[in-house]
């Protein structure tokens, strides 16, 4: 829980200084709706890319946020899992489509993929195409169980995509009044150490209201605790990336 909300708002916050593309891989299309592209205005998107072999550059559209483009989920995306089953390169449809359009990809600093909840072919395509996985984790009782399952999945997908890393866990829907939130956060941190982001996303009503207005919470109410947390999260992600780039350089030298 919290995947789509994090995809939308992290993408929006990153877009203030970076060029960002958000891919909506969930047939529900909540990331598309939340960015102001309702179901009846979707047109061609992820399905056309994965199944229809349409080039990425044809399908991307600008969002109302400067610096943020969107590949929406088209209404046919729900059928993609079944239609891809018979294809030989079924796990690599997305990776292949991205590799074929390197010039378009080069226009972006960050590509964010919003995944569906299940580990089907759509999610697998995202994991095979991605460099890293960011897991939003709701601070509730079963959180640790869910996250160890995701960690195992990442390990398994490494056979198809050796580059894939579980880069971060973001605690979300944190409720300060609930002791359980605090306990779960402590557990997750002691297990996953610095892979857990310092920034915590609070449970905040403005966050849940924003999508029905077709807006990221950063535009809906920038002063809300939710919007401020996503701004901090983006800054922390950029800082971690810079540190990683420095470490990689030092490793080469």
Ligand X SMILES: Nc1ncnc2c1ncn2[C@@H]1O[C@H](COP(=O)(O)OP(=O)(O)O)[C@@H](O)[C@H]1O
Near Mg ion by CB under 5 A: residue from 1, 2, 3, 35: 3
- The answer to whether 30 contacts ligand X (rule: CB under 6 A) is yes
Near ligand X by CB under 6 A: residue from 33, 125, 172, 224: 172
- The answer to whether 204 contacts Mg ion (rule: CB under 5 A) is no
Nearer to ligand X, 3 or 42 (CB): 3
Near ligand X by CB under 6 A: residue from 226, 227, 234, 237: 226
Question: Residues 202 to 221: which contact ligand X by CB under 6 A?
Answer: 203-204, 207-208, 211
- The answer to whether 4 contacts ligand X (rule: CB under 6 A) is yes
Nearer to ligand X, 57 or 208 (CB): 208
Nearer to ligand X, 4 or 123 (CB): 4
Question: Residues 12 to 31: which contact Mg ion by CB under 5 A?
Answer: 30
Would the CA dihedral through 189, 192, 193, 196 be positive or negative? negative
Q: What is the 3-state secondary structure (H, E, C) of 155-218?
A: HHHCCCCCCCEEEEEEEECECCCCHHHHHHHHHHHHHHHHHECCCCCECCHHHHHHHHHCCCHH
Question: Residues 110 to 149: which contact ligand X by CB under 6 A?
Answer: 117
Q: In angstroms, how far apart are the furthest CA atoms of the chain? A: 53
Instruction: Give, for 134, the enclosing helix (H) or strand (E).
Output: strand 132-138
- The answer to whether 6 contacts Mg ion (rule: CB under 5 A) is no
Count the helix, strand and coil residues of the chain and give each as a percent rounded to the nearest 5. 55, 15, 35
Task: Give me the residues that bind ligand X (CB under 6 A), please.
Answer: 1-5, 30, 117, 172-173, 201, 203-204, 207-208, 211, 226
Interface residues with Mg ion (CB under 5 A) are: 3-4, 30
């Amino acid at each position: 829980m919290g995947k789509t909300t994090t995809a939308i708002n992290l993408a929006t916050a990153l877009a203030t200084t970076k060029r960002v593309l958000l891919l909506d891989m969930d047939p529900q299309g909540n990331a598309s709706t939340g960015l102001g592209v309702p179901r009846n205005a979707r047109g061609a998107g992820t399905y056309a890319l994965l199944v229809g072999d349409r080039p990425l550059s044809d399908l991307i559209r600008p969002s109302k946020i400067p610096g943020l483009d969107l590949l929406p989920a088209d209404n046919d995306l729900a059928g993609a899992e079944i239609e891809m089953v018979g294809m030989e390169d079924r796990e690599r449809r997305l990776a292949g489509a991205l590799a074929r359009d390197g010039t378009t990809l080069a226009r972006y600093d960050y590509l964010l993929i919003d995944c569906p909840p299940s580990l089907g072919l759509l999610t697998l395509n995202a994991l095979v195409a991605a460099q890293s996985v960011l897991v939003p984790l709701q601070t509730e009782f079963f959180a640790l169980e869910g996250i160890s399952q995701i960690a195992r999945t990442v390990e398994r997908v490494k056979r198809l995509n050796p580059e894939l890393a579980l880069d971060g866990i973001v605690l979300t829907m944190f409720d300060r009044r609930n002791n359980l939130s605090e306990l779960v956060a402590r557990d997750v941190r002691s297990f996953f150490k610095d892979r857990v982001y310092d920034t915590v996303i609070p449970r905040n009503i403005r966050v849940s209201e924003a999508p029905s207005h077709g807006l990221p919470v950063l535009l809906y109410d920038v002063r809300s605790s939710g919007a401020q947390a996503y701004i901090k999260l983006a800054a922390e992600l950029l800082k971690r990336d810079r540190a990683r780039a420095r470490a990689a350089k030092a490793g080469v030298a």
